[in-house]
Structure 1
């Protein structure tokens, strides 16, 4: 992702992104169960780096698996700076996909944030790492209590949404959304104008303008908005 693309999306809400994608027929881009673990957590933007878990099987999901070449530990050491890690935990909420040590290492590698439809453990420790996290909550048990890690950088499902490596993730107070790689340029082109337009509409609402004809705009309102833009230029 280019620095310009990142800067643009850092100024665009997930609500705006879902609206833009809805206009293109994509209704399922918001990952259910992905909530910020701290209030007023900063918005993060980055390329998706995917991790995938499957249901635990007793002969595989053991503490010994943490030392395997196919482990979350190994995956973390391949994460490029600036990515958003997206973890398919199958919605399991009684086993943490990672805790303070894993999150601290991600932060040290420059990971932008962690998104999962599961939970993290060592909640206070995770907060202390400063890594922005979106999850379904926290739980004490380790991942192997309910999950088996099977791979990274492959297509996953997170919160009921398909996420592919190379997609773009934006996460803020409303949760996390995915922008398909093929649609990123269109979102970048439309999103700033959508934000400007809605900011103007909010100003009009503050002035007491009624909603019919304002949101969505009719032709008269559109003309007033265009005149406003011209005057502000």
Structure 2
């Protein structure tokens, strides 16, 4: 089993687009978290293990400002987050109640949380941006979470953006969004992903040299042989 350092080193060079293709070939079609997009450009590609949080619809006796002091609160969940995890928050796609604001995001940043990923929205946008916590979400809204959501638990299986996410699944995020790699598939992905990126880089090189797509993408036997020869030449340099 690869270490987390090895996982990050390899997958930091692999796009989420490539990962969805590899997982599709493995039979996994539903791995891209809908609605979770970078809150700003330039956040790069981040790899980490999922730390899950879950909201349910607001219920008036539970979704109150007083609930923020409860032992089962977003505040307590943040304190339980391990360094370098990616917080993945199931907000059921609700877009009119911000799950986290600037204070909570600032605490996450101080704890060296790698990123926040949610199918919901955040609030206090200017302050959140000022924390420099990388965020992937569906947008922003001024109302607090309790206006539309009740927080119920953390470190449990969730559904985020229509995707099942289990604690410690590998999350990869970049400008195309967030992809979930089930822990059981990580070794296969680590083996296949760098080669897929290398092949697609060679294909792009051929396209830039005005090669036609038929037989090139996907590659036929002739172009596979050309690619293998190119790889041998690269290795010999």
Coarse TM-score class (shorter-chain normalised): over 0.9
- Tell me which of 77, 80, 83 is aligned to 2:79: 77
Q: TM-score, normalised by structure 2?
A: 0.97
Distance in 1 separating the partners of 2:181 and 2:134 = 19
Could you tell me which residue of structure 2 aligns to residue 27 of structure 1?
Answer: 29
Could you tell me which residue of structure 1 aligns to residue 107 of structure 2?
Answer: 105
Could you tell me which residue of structure 1 aligns to residue 180 of structure 2?
Answer: 178
Query: SS in structure 2 opposite 1:77?
Result: helix
Runs of 4+ displaced beyond 3 Å: none
Distance in 2 separating the partners of 1:180 and 1:21 = 10
Alpha-carbon shift at residue 7 of structure 1 (Å): 1.1
RMSD over aligned Cα, in angstroms? Answer: 0.6
Q: Deviations over 1:95-122 (max 9, x none)?
A: 0110111111111111100000000000
- Unmatched tracts of structure 1, length 5 or more: none
Query: SS in structure 2 opposite 1:212?
Result: coil
Could you tell me which residue of structure 1 aligns to residue 12 of structure 2?
Answer: 10
Alpha-carbon shift at residue 40 of structure 1 (Å): 2.5
Distance in 2 separating the partners of 1:147 and 1:59 = 12
Q: TM-score, normalised by structure 1?
A: 0.99
Q: Deviations over 1:113-163 (max 9, x none)?
A: 000000000011111111110000000000000000000000000000000
Could you tell me which residue of structure 1 aligns to residue 165 of structure 2?
Answer: 163
Could you tell me which residue of structure 1 aligns to residue 58 of structure 2?
Answer: 56
Distance in 1 separating the partners of 2:29 and 2:212 = 28
Q: How does 1:109-124 map to 2 (within 5 A)?
A: 109-124=111-126
Distance in 1 separating the partners of 2:89 and 2:78 = 12
Aligned residues: 233
Q: Deviations over 1:160-215 (max 9, x none)?
A: 00000010000100000100000011101110111111011000000000000000
